[in-house]
Amino acid sequence: MSVAAVHPGGIADHIHPEPQGFVRRYVFSLDHKIIGIQYIITAFVFFMLSGLLAEVIRTQLLNPNGGFVSSDTYNEVYSVHGSAMVWLVIIPLLTGGFGNLVFPLQIGARDVAFPWLNMLSFWIFPVSGLMLFASFLMGAPTAGWMEYPPVSLQGAAGTSMWCAAIFLVGVSSTMTGINFVVTILKMRAPGMTFTRMPLFCWGQFATAPLLMIATTALAAALAALFIEREFGVPFYDPTKGGSPVMWQHMFWFYSHPAVYIMILPAFGIISEVLPTFSRKPIFGYKLIAFSSMAIALAGFMVWAHHMFTSGLAPFLQLPFMILTFVIGVPTGIKIFSWTATLFGGKIHFSTAMLFALGFIGLFTLGGITGIFLAAIPFDLHVHGTYFIVAHLHYVLVGGSLMGVFAGMYYWFPKMSGRLLNETLGKWHFWLFFLGFNGTFIPMHWLGMLGMPREVATYDPQFAFWNRFESVASYLMAFSILLFFVNVLWSIRNGKRSGPNPWGGRTLEWQIPSPPHYYNFKHIPTVYGLPYDFAQPLPYKGLDEELTDSPPAVAAGAH
């Protein structure tokens, strides 16, 4: 299964010469760590832009009659906000960003399997992101991130641009997926069996096939929408024999697995942060790892639970409801295991740990409302309302984004060699936690009482809670501003971290921060799980990593 040994002259025994010059080192870099950081920076730029769009949404909703922007602009704003947050922020951060940055280090590889492909994946991403935002210039899409036809067939020219942008970012995701699968299958260090792999790698290993397979289905749907809009070829237009519901099938066949693409790596981050800061092995390692795979697999079989109101035959709906309930079981196992990990620990409340703890609480809430939504009779009530908006933000912000922040505070030292400021970090966490809950908790009852989603104006009876949410959302925005200030300040002035500021036991902490471009001087041999705090580190061959000695193999072109 894993690499038995480093073969002389093989990939692991081979170092490319360090690239020279700014462009080769930092722009068109082949180094997975640099590419990971490029992903993270680019995604946070897009995060800032689509976060601003979110504040435009909340400002509009301060008043029942809106008035901040026109209805048309408002529709463009929330559509681009949703699309950008999903495809340009969360997915790239968790897969291209943290995935690239961390998991090759954790499995003891020198790089990913296909560095050139990796660079290409990255460079497609900012281009498609710019295309998505450029769609504002020609009339951005208005039908939300789901762009259901036929209304998306009526959308402005930017809707086609949206199709092209998402198609491209999908190509980038697919290539990343292929790259990661091969890397994990083939490039683990000697002794790094699957059952010794850190849980973050398991998260990536469960995610990568989803990226590879599901994204392609979306590409087909997008291509068809683009062709129909631009060339009039009927796929979705019912007056020409097409089927609008078909889009929903194809879209959700991707987008439900996409939900797991956006959460499984975050699960992985939490599973790294918790043991490190409670100085305890993760509880139930195998069950957490296998439940990730179970969730990924089951994720392909539940897409129609997004379509209970679209006129599917009842006998088709039933298995989707029950399978969705079933996914609650492996998810529950993870939550219980994380909670149990804390028991008997020596818990250090670093900012990363706070975000991890916040993640568990908020994601659990989002997961529970997900079970609510799977129950068809209740879904027939709240589908398409603010209840859905609340649920999805609890999962994607309370879940994925909290995971991202935990990862940022945890791995920032590995990226930069400096710690993020913990005081600012704690302010960030608490304000974010308050602002987030204030923004999204009221949406649950607003949705149940009759507020539909994607509206620019609303019934005045909901005015109080909407204002409350808007104010809370400003608080959330302010906390994120603190985060950006923290990052910018700490890059230059942060405390030097040394190789292992948290006492982490996975491989990335055993080498300098930031690591050398070749990662390891010697590829280590792995003897056990990383989480046994009472035991010595289960690695051999790391003795020289923190010394000044040159790498064991000479750099040279082959």
Partner 1 sequence: MTAATLAHDAHGDVDQLYIETRELRLQGFLLFLISDCVLFSSFIFAYLYMRNSGQGWPPPGIHRLDVPFAAWNSVVLFGSGATMHYALENFKHGHWMRYMIFLLATIVLGAGFLAGQGYEYTHLIYGEHVTWAGSGIFGASFFTLTGMHGLHVFIGVCYLTVLVLQSSAGVYTRGKYFGITAGTLYWHFVDVIWVVLFSIFYLI
Partner 2 sequence: MVEHKAQPAGLSGGFWTVTAILTALSIAAIVFWSIFPLEKYLPAAIITARQVDLLFRFMAASGSALWIFVAGYLLYFSIAFRARATDPPDAIGLQVHDNHKLEFWWTVIPALFVVLLSIVSVRIWYQVMLEPENGIVVQAIGHQFYFSFRYPQINGEVTDEMHLPRDVPVTLNLTSADVIHGFWVPAMRLKNDTVPGLVTTIKFTPIRDGRYPIICTQFCGVLHSEMDKQYLVIEEKPAFDAWFKKWQEKNAHASNALPSAGGGAVALQGGNASAGKALFAQKCSACHKVAPFSQTLVGPGLAGVLHDPSHPNLVNNQPATPQNVAGILQNGFTGSMGTMPNATANGLSRQDIANLVAFLDSLK
The site for partner 1 (CB under 8 A) is made up of: 7-11, 13-14, 113-114, 117, 174, 177-179, 181-182, 185-187, 212-213, 215-217, 219-221, 224, 227-228, 231-235, 240-243, 246, 249-250, 253, 558
Q: Which does 55 bind (CB under 5 to 8 A by kind): partner 2, partner 1, none?
A: none
DSSP-assigned beta bridge partners for residue 539: 526
H/E run at residue 9: none
The residues in 371-430 that bind partner 2, with binding defined as CB under 8 A, are: 371-372, 375-378, 380-381, 383-385
Q: Cβ of 364: how many Cβ atoms within 10 Å?
A: 20
Q: Which does 430 bind (CB under 5 to 8 A by kind): partner 1, partner 2, none?
A: none
Site string for partner 2, 319-358 (x = CB under 8 A): --xx--xx-xx--xx-xxx-xx-xxxxxxxx-------x-
Question: Of 189-197, 405-413, 417-425, 525-533, which part binds partner 2 (CB under 8 A)?
Answer: 525-533
Cα 372–chain centre separation: 24
Distances (CA, A) of 167 to 87, 145, 260: 10, 13, 19
Does 154 bind partner 2 (CB under 8 A)? Our answer is yes
Whether 189 and 108 have beta carbons less than 8 Å apart is answered as yes
Amino acid at 190: P
Measure the CA–CA gap between 64 and 72, rounded to whole angstroms: 16
> What region, left, alpha or beta, does residue 40 occupy, with left being phi > 0 and alpha being psi -120 to 50 degrees?
alpha
Any idea what the Cα angle at residue 448 is, between residues 446 and 451, rounded to 5°? 50
Measure the CA–CA gap between 464 and 456, rounded to whole angstroms: 16
Which of 213, 293, 448, 546 is the binder for partner 2 (CB under 8 A)?
A: 448
Which of 44, 133, 253, 283 is the binder for partner 2 (CB under 8 A)?
A: 283
Site string for partner 2, 220-259 (x = CB under 8 A): ------------------xxx--xxx--------------
In angstroms, give the least distance from the CB of 435 to partner 2. 19
In angstroms, give the least distance from the CB of 178 to partner 1. 4
Does 13 bind partner 2 (CB under 8 A)? Our answer is no
Question: Of 209-217, 369-377, 416-424, 492-500, which part binds partner 2 (CB under 8 A)?
Answer: 369-377
In angstroms, give the least distance from the CB of 209 to partner 2. 24
Does 533 bind partner 2 (CB under 8 A)? Our answer is yes
In angstroms, give the least distance from the CB of 420 to partner 2. 20
Q: Which does 283 bind (CB under 5 to 8 A by kind): partner 1, partner 2, none?
A: partner 2
The residues in 201-220 that bind partner 2, with binding defined as CB under 8 A, are: none
Q: What is the CA radius of gyration of the chain?
A: 23
Distances (CA, A) of 116 to 71, 113, 169, 178: 44, 9, 17, 13
Work out the widest C-alpha separation in the chain, in whole angstroms. Answer: 73
Closest CB to partner 2 among residues 309, 549: 309
Which of 95, 255, 364, 466 is the binder for partner 2 (CB under 8 A)?
A: 364
In angstroms, give the least distance from the CB of 308 to partner 2. 9
Transcribe 161-228 into DSSP letters. Answer: HHHHHHHHHHHHHHHHHHHHHHHHHH-PPTT--GGGS-HHHHHHHHHHHHHHHHHHHHHHHHHHHHHH
In angstroms, give the least distance from the CB of 104 to partner 1. 13
In angstroms, give the least distance from the CB of 287 to partner 2. 6
Tokens of 173: 């995701």
Which of 1, 311, 492, 558 is the binder for partner 2 (CB under 8 A)?
A: 311
In angstroms, give the least distance from the CB of 179 to partner 2. 32
Q: Mutual orientation of helices 386-395 and 351-374 as an angle, nearest 10°?
A: 140
In angstroms, give the least distance from the CB of 306 to partner 2. 12
209 CB-near residues (< 8 Å, 6+ apart): 177, 181, 296
DSSP-assigned beta bridge partners for residue 452: 385
Measure the CA–CA gap between 73 and 91, rounded to whole angstroms: 26
